[in-house]
């Protein structure tokens, strides 16, 4: 990242609280394709690019004070979005169909202390995506090897501390695993609903779903009162009456479960990709609708980009706040073009508008 961009980002981050509004969910097509969607919210453009990392890339963990931790070489090639110019994937896939996404977990994330005994297997929290995508093919493999690493509180200078994160991992079978660093240990949950947002902890969100067990995609029938007085519905959607529509993590979690669980089955991965993008529209935060005052500054969260990953066909799609056109990165084509070097694909672009004024029939 150019020095001027880094300085500007550092200044903006110093003024802004951390983003807390990311959402991820999945659906499965009839052809078995698992398709995952995710939104990235922040108070400014995080300058993400698509990072293309070939197999055989050496990686090193970052520890507090500039020390180095775990060292490994990637077994698998991977692609996905980075942020703030860091060489780490915060949302992406590898060539075995494994998916990893980092989401903010403020007020709850607690990392381990670095010790002489654990330093050689320690890394910064934001580096776990590279390690997972670079080494494993399935959720079961990930679960079996989590004791091999330690996540420590390596600070990001621009953020004023270590980013509080938790993580979701998916594979081609449709299994989802949530990893949360709590009190220095990694708490692991199976994710039966395929959804993750932000704080509180994942088990709390599953319990909170009990408050919404009456929600249904079916419209509520008219209600008969007395002998001849009927109360019909005002319109469509009465079965989902009470579905929370705000941008808080608990409300987004409930909404993500409701929409992903009631999505009509589609036949192919290509159809599922479009369906997930439509569902993710429900989590898009327009610039200005979420604000927080911090001193004299106003922090405004918005959806910087939205991604969709096709784990069957190894494709990662995205759109940005400034360009709603869907763009595709085919993992195998990108790796072939990158050769043996880590390369980057720009995500930022301007919206093109097609003039259909004379496309008459």
194: tokens are: 């395929």
Give the C-alpha separation, 57 to 175, whole Å.
27
158: tokens are: 């621009």
22 a catalytic residue: yes
Residue 1: which of 158, 155, 122, 131 has the closest Cα? 158
DSSP letter string over 279-295?
Answer: HHGGG---TTSEEEEET
Distance of CA 157 to the CA centre of its chain: 23
User: Hunting for tokens 């409300």 — which residue is that?
Assistant: 251
Q: Are residues 204 and 218 in contact, defined by beta-carbon separation less than 8 angstroms?
A: no
**Which one of the listed residues 21, 22, 34, 285 is annotated catalytic?**
22
Calculate the alpha carbon distances from 286 to 43, 105, 304 in Å: 11, 22, 10
Catalytic annotation, residues: 22
């Amino acid at each position: 990242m150019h020095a001027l961009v880094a300085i500007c980002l550092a200044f903006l981050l110093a003024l802004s609280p951390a983003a807390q509004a990311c959402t991820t969910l999945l659906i499965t097509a009839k052809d078995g394709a698992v398709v995952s969607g995710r939104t990235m919210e922040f108070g400014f453009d995080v300058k993400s690019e698509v990072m293309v990392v070939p197999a055989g890339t050496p990686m090193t963990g970052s520890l507090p004070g500039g020390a180095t931790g775990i060292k490994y070489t990637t077994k698998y090639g991977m692609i996905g979005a980075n942020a703030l110019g860091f060489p780490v994937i915060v949302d992406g896939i590898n060539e075995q169909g494994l998916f990893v996404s980092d989401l903010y977990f403020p007020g709850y994330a607690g990392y381990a202390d670095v010790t002489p005994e654990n330093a050689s297997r320690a890394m910064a929290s934001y580096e776990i995506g590279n390690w997972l995508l670079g080494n494993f093919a399935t959720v079961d493999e990930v679960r079996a090897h989590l004791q091999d690493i330690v996540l420590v509180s390596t600070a990001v200078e621009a953020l004023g501390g270590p980013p509080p994160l938790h993580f979701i991992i998916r594979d081609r079978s449709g299994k989802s695993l949530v990893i949360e660093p709590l009190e220095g240990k990694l708490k692991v949950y199976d994710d039966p609903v395929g959804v993750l947002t932000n704080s509180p902890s994942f088990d709390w969100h599953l319990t909170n779903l009990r408050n919404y067990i009456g929600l249904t995609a079916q419209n509520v029938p008219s209600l008969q009162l007395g002998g001849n007085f009927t109360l019909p519905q005002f319109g469509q959607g009465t079965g989902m009456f009470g579905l929370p529509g705000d941008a808080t993590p608990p409300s987004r979690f409930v909404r993500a479960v409701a929409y992903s669980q009631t999505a009509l089955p589609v036949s192919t991965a290509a159809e599922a990709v479009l369906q997930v993008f439509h569902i993710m529209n429900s989590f898009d935060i327009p610039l200005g609708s979420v604000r927080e005052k911090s001193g004299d500054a106003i922090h405004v969260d918005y959806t910087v980009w939205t991604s969709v990953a096709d784990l069957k066909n190894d494709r990662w799609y995205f759109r940005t706040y400034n360009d709603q056109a869907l763009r595709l990165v085919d993992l195998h084509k990108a790796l072939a073009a990158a050769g043996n070097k880590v390369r980057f694909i720009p995500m930022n672009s301007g919206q093109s508008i097609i003039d259909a004024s004379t496309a008459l029939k």
